Amino acid sequence: MKHYNILYSVVAHEKIECVYNLYENILKFHPGLSVAMIVHANPRLYEQRDEIPCHENLIWHPVPTVKERFTSKIFLGHLENFRYVGGRHLQKGEEMSFDFFCTLASNCMFVRPIVFERIAENTPILAPRAGGYRLPDPERWMYKEFIKNVKLNEIFKQIGMEICVITHEGAYFRKNVMDSMSVFCEGWGINESIFVHDTIPAEEIILPSLEKFLTGGKIGKRYCGWIPGIKEEDVRTVIETGTCKLLSGHYNNILKIPRDMENPMRKMVNELQVEEIPQI
């Protein structure tokens, strides 16, 4: 059985060359670690997969689906990725195990090498606990949209689960937490049929809400920083220090870079020599 330190899950809808660039980027910034990446693509992107090199650690979910923002598609794509590599659908001899499962978008890029010990220390352990149903900010649009899904909201009430909103890129989950998340969603019918009329980014609500419920009220650090209107000087600062003013001093080693192979920031990251990046 193959074992990986980290399995990266990517839900992608465009730019096959950037998907492969992310895979190369992951390998480059994980020296000494065993990593793999699974892609849940839309149909057109899936058809283009033969245009890039084939690697055993670059896995394609075999059932592509149309991806749309502010729907359940991204959340379900990550969940289906986990279930596929978790052993349900792999052939005998292809089974794999892994320590951590991390969700990314196809415009993510590592700009600093990962520190595995930091991931292990900051990723919550499995310790299910119902902290009580709560909407932290009832006036926030995501919460308003969420409670329109009466069936889903009722599940959260029955369990006594707090509804959380936080980005999903750069989120690491222990495998047993993801196992429990998968079982929970299957048991309670949290699948495509329950999201029929939703206009919410389910990955930013369901993932952190279940994470908090399954880890005793904790949410792990997100390592991807989103910088609106990101510029080259922002990327340089994060490469050198792990943060920048627009990230409010929070450590990040992943940034969102435009999906364009000719973009100067993408070129800058691709040209980085990992051993020359200052340690923190």
Could you tell me the CA-to-CA distances from 112 to 12, 39, 99, 211, 258 in Å, in that order?
23, 22, 21, 26, 18
Answer whether residue 267 shows pLDDT above 60. Answer: yes
Average pLDDT, the chain: 92
What does the alpha-carbon distance between residue 70 and residue 227 come to, in Å, rounded to a whole number? 20
SS3 255: strand
Q: What is the pLDDT at residue 96?
A: 83
Asked if 213 and 162 touch (Cβ cutoff 8 Å), the reply is: yes
What's the pLDDT band for 88 if we cut at 50, 70, 90?
low
Q: What is the pLDDT of residues 120-178, one digit of tens each?
A: 999 999 999 999 999 888 888 888 889 999 999 999 999 999 999 999 999 999 999 99
Q: What is the pLDDT at residue 261?
A: 97
For residues 139 and 53, which has the higher predicted lDDT (pLDDT)?
53
Q: Dig out the tokens for 254 from the structure.
A: 């992943």
| Percent above pLDDT 90 for the chain | 79
SS3 141: helix
**Burial profile 165-179: b = 16 or more Cβ within 10 angstroms, e = fewer:** bebbbbbbbbbebbb
What does the alpha-carbon distance between residue 117 and residue 140 come to, in Å, rounded to a whole number? 36
Q: What is the pLDDT at residue 37?
A: 97
Q: What is the pLDDT at residue 12?
A: 92
Nearest CA among 178, 184, 189 for reference residue 78: 178
SS3 64: coil
pTM of the model: 0.95
Residue 208 makes CB contacts below 8 A (sequence gap 6+) with 164, 165, 166, 168, 171, 219
Answer whether residue 184 shows pLDDT above 60. Answer: yes
